[in-house]
Structure 1
């Protein structure tokens, strides 16, 4: 892989700016049908001081998972005790594994692997996805010298709009509320799969309870990078 050849994931340098393109394969309600759901595990909250310990993602076609990606990452530093307690990932598990400098290019290659769609950017879906994208952007800039650019959908934001009567919108809350699972595992791949299930559940709920004329989406650049565009649900 040529790291510097990726500026907008899944497309080579020289393509049109993402701001002028619509996400691929939207349905009548504006939900994506083809996308990648992403989750990361990290040693902490801040990309400039903490490291990625696991990347998990699933590729979705027409609302169904068709492919998975999962790799543990050597953070090249001790994993805090509280992080191990939460995720089960400890120093011994990652000691002999590749660091992010090697894993991230493989992940970006995986994102770009669908040659039939190389001219269309697939959206990224995540729960509180800004957190994950900050880490990806920071590391992509460090490794490849270019930003990680994408359009994204946040299942936390969508839940807050659809269900304002609820106080909490964590992934752990949604999977119980929607009858998906009893517990969040706090591992990247399982969380990515549960996030995909939450998006599809809310998509179905919206189709059954909302008129298409009341649904809209607005595009908001991320605070930390103009190359990352949040697609946010709006109900009129």
Structure 2
């Protein structure tokens, strides 16, 4: 644990680009915070971390203890939420705060209310929503699944480890997509219409669904320029499912809804094929305008 008394890095230099928070709770009341972890990130690296057990001033339920391993005797003599509120407030106020789902946001708000402490004013970013946009092909965007997929060291239901893993999800999503932090804070852009197919080309007559990119993305433009018609989802008239990315048949892709639907149609006698963009020879093509 590296406690930090001010929301700057240990060298006292620039503040974090964003902080990540995770909490564990003692019982079904979300205000019953019994552990809290905070990690600060700047320029794609960790610059501080903070973790503490918390006396929730509430009862412990066996269900919760089985999940995170924290029991009543572990928090004897530990600070209460009012004790740590100033430090948490100092780290989060005026910053972008990441949490994996908004459970932690709700727990923090409830704890402030129950313990009569000021609400913490921060800008929240849900790393689940970020992961869903960055890796839409994944069958699950739970933190454990993401950590395994992205090669992040992770101990589930440990507040500091969960916070650290969620922070690395953000760092890797920025690197993977090129979408900057402030852009993630904006509402997600709805895909525009699919590009119109060229009147002829090697993909003329094909009805093509794409897994891993939006229907108006660069891969769709390359397909349309070769005469392929982009469809929004795999259906019984789809002839090709094209998988974007460098590892097109990873476990997460094979367990996606689009891949499973394509397999089902094939078993029922459909002619749909599943191929990667590399197999179509599209991976290195520069997107060009499709025919109007």
Same fold (TM over 0.5): yes
Contact 1:40/1:55, CA 8 A, preserved across alignment? yes
Correspondence for 1:39: 22
- Evaluate the alpha carbon distance shift between residue 149 and residue 52 of structure 1 in structure 2; reply closer, same or farther with a 3 A threshold: same
Q: Provide, for residues 157-178 of structure 1, a one-character-per-residue CA deviation record: whole Å limited to 9, x for no partner.
A: 0111222332311101100111
Q: Does 1:87 align with 2:68?
A: yes
Residues 158, 232 of structure 1: 8 Å contact kept = no
Other-structure match for 1:124: 97
Task: Count how many residue pairs are aligned between Structure 1 and Structure 2.
Answer: 178
CA–CA distance in 2 between the matches of 1:171 and 1:234? 24
Q: Are the counterparts in 2 of residues 40 and 188 from structure 1 also a CA contact under 8 Å?
A: yes
With a CA cutoff of 8 Å and minimum separation of 6, indicate the structure with the bigger relative contact order.
1
Identify which of 138, 147, 170 aligns with 1:166: 138
Among 199, 202, 207, which residue is 2:170 paired with? 199
Deviates more, 1:165-174 or 1:135-144: 135-144
Structure 1 ranges of 4+ moved more than 4 A: 215-219
Post-superposition offset of 1:216 = 8.9
Distance in 2, matches of 1:178 and 1:68, equals 21
Tell me if the contact between 2:99 and 2:105 (Cα under 8 Å) persists in the aligned partners: no
Residue 177, structure 1, aligned to residue 149, structure 2: yes
Question: Per-residue deviation at 1:39?
Answer: 0.6
Which of residues 75, 82, 94 is equivalent to 1:101?
82
Unpaired segments ≥5 residues, structure 2: 1-6, 8-13, 192-292
**Higher strand fraction (1 or 2):** 1
Cα deviation for residue 232 of structure 1 reads 4.3
